[in-house]
Structure 1
Amino acid sequence: CGGNWNVADVTEGKFRIPPHLPNAKDPCCSHKEFWIQRPDDVPSIVDARLDTFYTITEPIVDLYEERASIFRFAPYRGFDDVERFENELRQWLMSPMSRL
């Protein structure tokens, strides 16, 4: 069906992120037998990607933290937090902190 889905159900600490599944009415995507896991969707590759991500971004984050000019947001509810993210980012962009 060509869709991208997240079958994980995250409930850890403050995080409550339900799976992002296809529409049950879609005959192609709603049946698990048609789902395919990407070959790079395995713990070893995900761990390597996260290591690379943190190695590259940590110095940048540190720089902006030193300037006290960084917007932090935790998506505790996944896609359900998009509106909260937009509102908080909009407020932050209008604040003096975003101009440092």
Structure 2
Amino acid sequence: MNETSATSASGDSLLPDGITTLTTIHFAIIAVLALFVIAGLLWGIKAKRSRKKASRDVIANAREAGVEPAPERVTRPRRAGRVNRGRGLRVAGWWGGRG
């Protein structure tokens, strides 16, 4: 058996100079972006809670004043894909199914 195949080079010699720094910078950028995403999600949750609370307060205040509160507008979520108005055909969405 060949004696040189049993030994291996150290891990440092396999990486070119500067790659460790470059990788660290990229991981730092990814971490900062992840923090921005998490902050955005938390901000959105807080905004939704405040909108719901405001809606409940408006309804409660209207009932207290003896006024029937306006019904909440119910909207349907938009479907993926688009309607081809020229021929009346439905274009399939990204999942490939029929809409």
TM-score (norm 2): 0.28
| Higher RCO (C-alpha 8 Å, min separation 6) | 1
TM-score (norm 1): 0.28
- Which is helix-richer, 1 or 2? 2
The structure that has the greater radius of gyration is 2
